[in-house]
Amino acid sequence: MDYLWSLAPTNTNHPTAPTNSGAPPGEPAPTPPQRAATVREVHDALAQARDIAYTTVMTVLDRLAKKGAVEQIRDGRAYLYRPAVTLDALTAELMHDALGTVDAESRASALVRFVDTASADDAAALRAALAKLERREY
């Protein structure tokens, strides 16, 4: 999932995940399109979980485009929008930003807590990513 689509969280099954999607706790948020999309498509995806005005979505997408967070692509008389960065790049940036706000000792403690509370799948993915980096296969 990309930055633009992070308007609706994807991991609502995690107990600490934000629940601003409007979906009931424990139920996944709607899955928005994974490609360049019209305002209507973004609105329809978000409207599955919450009451939101079309004009609000259009305004937010326009503002995100002006800030460089999404790309605005002319498609005839309409615009298509797509994320300027991938969700994995955004997530990595947010993690670096959060870790950058604390000293080295706190950073190490935060990383240990993160790994200690990670699901088995997340821990396996982290091990695989570290192994891949050690082999420089990225």
**pLDDT tens by residue, 30-44:** 544 558 999 999 999
Beta bridge partners of 82: 71
Instruction: Give the mean pLDDT of 60-80.
Output: 94
pLDDT band for position 85 (cuts 50, 70, 90)? confident
User: Has residue 108 got a pLDDT over 90?
Assistant: yes
Give the chain's mean pLDDT: 81
How many Cβ atoms sit within 10 Å of the Cβ of residue 5? 22
User: How confident is the model at residue 24, as a pLDDT?
Assistant: 54
pTM score > 0.85 for this model?
no
74: which DSSP letter? E
